Amino acid sequence: MAGCETVSGEAMATFAGDVVVVTGAAMGIGEATAMGFAALGAKVACLDLDEAAARQTAERAMAVHAGCVAMGLACDVADEAAGCGALERVVEAFGGLHVLINNAGITRDRTALKLASGDFRAVLDVNLTGTFLMAQAAATFMKTQRYGRIINTSSINARGKFGQANYAASKAGVIGLTRTLAIEWARYGITVNAVAPGFVRTAMTAAIPEPVKDEAITKIPVGRIAEAEEIARVHRFFADRHSAYITGQVLVVDGGRTLV
Ligand code: NAP
């Protein structure tokens, strides 16, 4: 199918006929993921807090990949009504919902004794509760199709990270959530998996001072920071129709960082 060749190394993968929703699709990993699915024939719905930016991703996907169908919608994943409403619009426009990439996430870093309860809750609301609410809304549709792929986003910092009590708690929560939903929804043909990235070059990590980045790279066996596309590839792996026997798994993509 047209566009397959643009995603190197995945000559046979295709998502033609699949409707893929990506949250936090305005930039970073979400944008790369939306572009990758568009390249492989999916109908892609780009959701983000920023509607104009979500539409831009969709427009770029359609401009780059001839024949691609994409839409951009405003959606705060932490807002239950907004999430359900957005997915309803996607199903109405595209006729189904096969893949949900729960990618939206935020940080509000502060050491624990200085961490305001509002910043603790805000991160849990988006990263964990938002992931649950979007998964629940998506599974309601997917159950009727007896098919679905839900891919959540954890982080290697789920292990604990100085200055990230809120973020680490949220990303550790995503692992328990992923495994539980996998158990409950397998009977509906829905798989639920998660990716746990290490250090990825996006806006989220852009503010980290260069000396800190350089120091971090010395601890990564592969010797560099990941590109967003390298996480997007994992999304496509879990979303593949042939990945039906893989569920409840968390795939660490960190260049070996957690091995050392
Ligand atoms: P990013 O560049 O900051 O992009 C995140 C996107 O999510 C932004 O467009 C953001 O919109 C959007 N977003 C934030 N809150 C949202 C909400 N409530 N509802 C909908 N969209 C929302 O982040 P990234 O680096 O690509 O990270 C993507 C995911 O990977 C996150 O879950 C992150 O925790 C995880 N991750 C990243 C890394 C890394 O090194 N980058 C490592 C491990 C895990 P606004 O800009 O308008 O806020």
DSSP 25-54: TTSHHHHHHHHHHHHTT-EEEEEES-HHHH
Output the six-digit token pair for 145: 């199709």
What sign for the dihedral angle of Cα 84, 88, 91, 93?
A: negative
> What are the strands, taking DSSP E only, across 24-165?
43-48, 69-74, 99-101, 148-153
Cα(219)–Cα(161) distance, rounded to whole angstroms?
A: 15
How far, in Å, from the CA of 182 to the mean position of ligand 1? 23
Options 3.30.365.10, 3.30.40.10, 3.20.10.10, 3.40.50.720; which CATH number does 14-259 get?
3.40.50.720
Under a CB-based contact definition with an 8 Å cutoff, are residues 139 and 181 in contact? yes
Candidates 33, 35, 49: which one to mutate for ligand 1, based on the most atoms within 8 Å of Cβ? 49
248: CB partners within 8 A, 6+ apart = 178, 179, 182, 183, 192, 193
φ/ψ of residue 45, rounded to 5: -105, 120
* Residue of the CA atom closest to atom 12 of ligand 1: 24
**Global pTM?**
0.96
Give residue 163's region: left, alpha or beta (phi > 0; psi -120 to 50).
Answer: left
- The yes-or-no answer on residue 147 being catalytic is no
Helix 117-124 / helix 165-185 crossing angle, nearest 10 deg = 30
Per-residue pLDDT of the chain (260 residues; tens, 9 = 90+): 333 444 555 455 699 999 999 999 999 999 999 999 999 999 999 999 999 999 999 999 999 999 999 999 999 999 999 999 999 999 999 999 999 999 999 999 999 999 999 999 999 999 999 999 999 999 999 999 999 999 999 999 999 999 999 999 999 999 999 999 999 999 999 999 999 999 999 999 999 999 999 999 999 999 999 999 999 999 999 999 999 999 999 999 999 999 99
pLDDT score for 8: 53
How far, in Å, from the CA of 80 to the mean position of ligand 1? 18
How far, in Å, from the CA of 30 to the mean position of ligand 1? 7
Report the half-sphere exposure of 7 (CA within 13 A, side-chain side): 28
Output the six-digit token pair for 127: 């990263």
2: CB partners within 8 A, 6+ apart = 41, 65, 66, 67
Per domain, the residue ranges of the chain are: 14-259
pLDDT score for 257: 98
Cα(121)–Cα(170) distance, rounded to whole angstroms?
A: 10
Cα(183)–Cα(185) distance, rounded to whole angstroms?
A: 6
Query: Which protein residues touch ligand 1 with a CB less than 6 Å away?
Result: 23-24, 26-30, 48-50, 75-78, 103-106, 126, 130, 153, 155, 197, 199-200, 202-205
First to last CA, the chain: 41
